[in-house]
């Protein structure tokens, strides 16, 4: 035991110091990497901008990346609704148009983060229920069934969108987010990327001679070829994705023209051939989506309540995407009031989608968040420019249909990389909490595992039985439960938040709260207003009481 000298009379003993949150390593423990609130290798953060020429190419790259989800969703839903190729082209145009509008609104007066709003697969379950309800009725032709179905989807979207508007602008969502900590955000953001694995290599495998070369070429060019010469570094790091798409798409066209797929199964033709989308022939040259283009909406209570489950799931998924985008764009974690206004604005976007006749609602695009990390450019301006491409190609249909005819396995190969980046960014949040705490490891492990396992169970059950595990006489109740537990981010957020706020922690630092809490308050960190403040003109036009 070491003796200490007592203080001399009249001398005030020094105040006890709190132990450091991050302890220095003992000798021989190796190098230690201190926590980084902002990723050090980003070239452009949320409010810094590349040159206009570079920004245009990067914006077009964002457009191409988000296009895959729209085409996949329209290809899945429109045939089930009874629509033809012309109807599919119009649905894709409407999706694109609304994505452009909603993305622009979010970057201006929503989160102010470079996130793209895109059609969401979270709405497949309630939309499928609506399709099944109308499939049992008699119509003169399939197109009439399509029109009635899309009108019912419109009505459900219009009414259910008010759920997000209410929980957003009433600040309920922001107040709920105050229960989060880095321990919760890690599994949520991780499964935002990992939960979409079915859109990755399983889709690549449907045409492996196209998808696999795309995946290998993208990794090789973007990560290895850029080091060959200093002049190639810039081009391969920023634009390797576009180059790979051009090369593999041309390769697929050569295989199609050479007759490689003349004597294969129908499914292989649909996934491999470059002439199977039928979008070029069916898309109009010029067409502007307009309100109620399919007719007056059909309002049904059961459809509305069923859609509310997907609306809430989209809010959860967007929240996880916003945290990942903030990290990849060099911004601080979004404060509670920013999350509230973003979810409220997302509800307004869904209201507009219902009015304009989209076949599903929207959420933040995970693949575009991953693109921020792939290019190391988190500029808000780039995403705002990309909305111009979305709106332009939604109006000039033939041009948009040309890019929409890219085979699915090419998009899937991109997703393997982009979703993986988002999942890895989620892991980086654990540096702000105690990653040696068994309590934290228990929460992380259970939230991650259940976040992947429960949705997988619901998916396999639906595939084998034709319906979800929730199968009561109340169809709307089934849609809500099946939507909730088919979403990996929803399950991870539910489990993580519950455990992190009920399991006893030794101190707040174990959960990472000393670092986390200041960012959740409007004035808690001086950088909050720097990243998330409104443009000056908005302050002049909107009274301050509506911006708090």
39 conformational bin, left if phi > 0, alpha if psi -120 to 50, beta if neither? beta
Q: For the segment 160-201, what is each residue's pLDDT rounded down to a tens digit? A: 999 999 999 999 999 999 999 999 999 999 999 999 998 999
Q: pLDDT tens digit string along 61-96? A: 999 999 999 999 999 999 999 999 999 999 999 999
DSSP-derived 3-state class of residue 327: helix
Residue 450 CA, chain-centre distance (Å), reads 20
Work out the pLDDT band at 242, boundaries 50, 70, 90.
very high
514, 508 contact by CB (below 8 A): yes
Residues paired with residue 119 on neighbouring β-strands, in sequence order: 362
Q: Could you give the CA distance from residue 235 to residue 251 in angstroms, rounded to a whole number?
A: 22
Distance CA 12, CA 163 (A): 59
* One-letter-per-residue 3-state SS of 67-116: HHHHHHHHHHHHHHHCCCHHHHHHHHHHHHHHHHHHHHHHHHHCCCCCCC
DSSP of 199-247:
GSHHHHGGGHHHHHHHHHHHHIIIIIGGGS-HHHHHHHHHHHHHHHHHH
pLDDT, tens digit (0-9, with 9 covering 90-100), for 330-385: 999 999 999 999 999 999 999 999 999 999 999 999 999 999 999 999 999 999 99
Q: Which residue has the tokens 């007066």?
A: 109
What is the pLDDT at residue 538? 52
Element containing residue 117 per DSSP (H, E): strand 117-119
Per-residue pLDDT, 2: 39
More confident residue, 231 or 388: 388
Distance, in Å, from the CA atom of 193 to the CA atom of 37, rounded to the nearest integer, reads 21
User: Quick check: 329 and 339 in contact, CB under 8 A?
Assistant: no
Tokens describing residue 486:
């088919």
Contact 177, 520 (CB under 8 A): yes
Q: In whole angstroms, give the CA distance from residue 314 to residue 163.
A: 11
CA pair distance 95, 122, nearest whole angstrom: 15
The yes-or-no verdict on residue 292 having pLDDT over 60 is yes
Which residue in 346, 278, 294 sits closest to 94, CA to CA?
Answer: 294
Question: Which of these, 112, 48, 67, 149, lies nearest to 404 by C-alpha position?
Answer: 67
Give one DSSP letter per residue of 373-403, joined into a string.
Answer: HHHTB--HHHHHHHHHHHHHHHHSHHHHHHH
Distance CA 542, CA 524 (A): 24
Give the model's pLDDT for residue 254: 93
Average pLDDT over every residue of 113-133: 96
For the chain, what is the total number of helices (H) and then of strands (E)?
24, 2
Distances (CA, A) of 127 to 166, 192, 275, 301, 305: 22, 22, 28, 14, 12
> Rounded to 5 degrees, what angle do the CA atoms 317, 321, 325 make?
170
Token couple for 205: 């495998």
CB 385 within 8 A of CB 59: yes
Provide the percentage of residues in the chain whose pLDDT is more than 70: 92
Phi-psi region of 317 (alpha: psi -120 to 50; beta: other; left: phi over 0): alpha
Provide the mean pLDDT of the chain. Answer: 90
Helix 488-502 with 438-465: angle, nearest 10 deg: 150
State the Cα–Cα distance between residues 437 and 34, nearest whole angstrom.
18
How many other C-beta atoms lie within 10 A of the C-beta of residue 24? 7
pLDDT in the model for residue 527: 84
Task: Say how far apart CA 156 and CA 151 lie, in whole Å.
Answer: 9
Whether pLDDT at 3 is above 60: no
- 211-232 CB burial, b ≥16 within 10 A, e <16: bbbbbebbeebbeebbeeeeee
With beta carbons less than 8 A apart as the criterion, state whether 347 and 165 touch. yes
Residue 302: predicted pLDDT: 94
């Amino acid at each position: 035991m070491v003796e200490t000298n007592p203080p001399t009379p009249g001398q005030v003993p020094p105040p006890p110091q709190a132990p450091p949150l991050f302890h220095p390593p003992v000798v021989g423990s190796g190098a230690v990497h201190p926590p980084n609130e902002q990723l050090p290798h980003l070239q452009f953060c949320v409010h810094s901008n590349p040159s206009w020429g570079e920004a245009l190419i990067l914006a077009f790259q964002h457009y191409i990346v988000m296009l895959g989800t729209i085409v996949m969703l329209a290809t899945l839903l429109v045939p089930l609704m009874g629509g033809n190729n012309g109807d599919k082209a119009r649905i894709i145009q409407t999706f694109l148009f609304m994505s452009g509008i909603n993305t622009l609104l979010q970057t201006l007066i929503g989160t102010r983060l470079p996130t793209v709003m895109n059609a969401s697969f979270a709405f497949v379950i309630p939309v499928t229920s609506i399709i099944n309800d109308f499939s049992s009725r008699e119509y003169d032709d399939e197109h009439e069934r399509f029109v009635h179905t899309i009108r019912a989807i419109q009505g459900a979207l219009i009414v259910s969108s008010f759920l997000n508007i209410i929980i957003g602008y009433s600040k309920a969502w922001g107040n709920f987010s105050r229960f989060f900590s880095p321990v919760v955000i890690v599994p949520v953001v991780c499964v935002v990327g990992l939960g979409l694995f079915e859109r990755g290599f399983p889709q690549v495998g449907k045409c492996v001679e196209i998808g696999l070369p795309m995946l290998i070429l993208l990794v090789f060019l973007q990560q290895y070829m850029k080091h060959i010469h200093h002049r190639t570094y810039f081009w391969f790091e920023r634009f390797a994705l576009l180059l790979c798409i051009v090369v593999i798409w041309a390769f697929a066209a050569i295989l199609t023209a050479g007759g490689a797929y003349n004597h294969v199964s129908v499914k292989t033709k649909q996934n491999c051939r470059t002439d199977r989308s039928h979008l070029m022939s069916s898309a109009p040259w010029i067409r502007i989506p307009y309100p109620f283009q399919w007719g007056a909406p059909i309002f049904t209570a059961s459809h509305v309540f069923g859609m509310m489950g997907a609306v809430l799931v989209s809010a959860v998924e967007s929240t996880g995407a916003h945290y990942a985008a903030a990290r990849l764009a060099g911004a601080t974690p979004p404060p509670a009031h920013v999350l509230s206004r973003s979810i409220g604005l997302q509800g307004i976007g869904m209201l507009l989608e219902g009015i304009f006749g989209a076949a599903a609602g929207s959420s933040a695009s995970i693949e575009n968040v991953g693109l921020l990390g792939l290019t190391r450019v988190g500029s808000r301006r780039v995403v705002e420019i990309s909305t111009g491409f979305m709106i332009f190609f939604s109006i000039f249909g033939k041009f948009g249909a040309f890019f929409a005819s890219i085979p699915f396995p090419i998009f899937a190969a991109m997703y393997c990389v982009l979703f993986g980046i988002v999942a890895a960014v989620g892991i980086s949040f654990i540096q702000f909490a105690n990653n040696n705490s068994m309590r934290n490891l228990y929460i992380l492990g259970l939230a991650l595992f259940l976040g992947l396992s429960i949705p997988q169970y619901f998916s396999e059950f639906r595939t084998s039985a034709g319906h979800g595990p929730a199968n009561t006489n109340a169809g709307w109740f089934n849609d809500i439960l099946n939507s909730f537990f088919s979403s990996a981010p929803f399950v991870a957020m539910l489990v993580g938040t519950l455990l992190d706020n009920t399991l006893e922690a030794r101190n707040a630092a174990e959960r990472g709260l000393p670092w986390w809490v200041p960012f959740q308050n409007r004035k808690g960190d001086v950088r909050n207003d720097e990243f998330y403040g409104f443009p000056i003109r908005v302050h002049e036009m909107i009274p301050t009481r509506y911006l708090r």
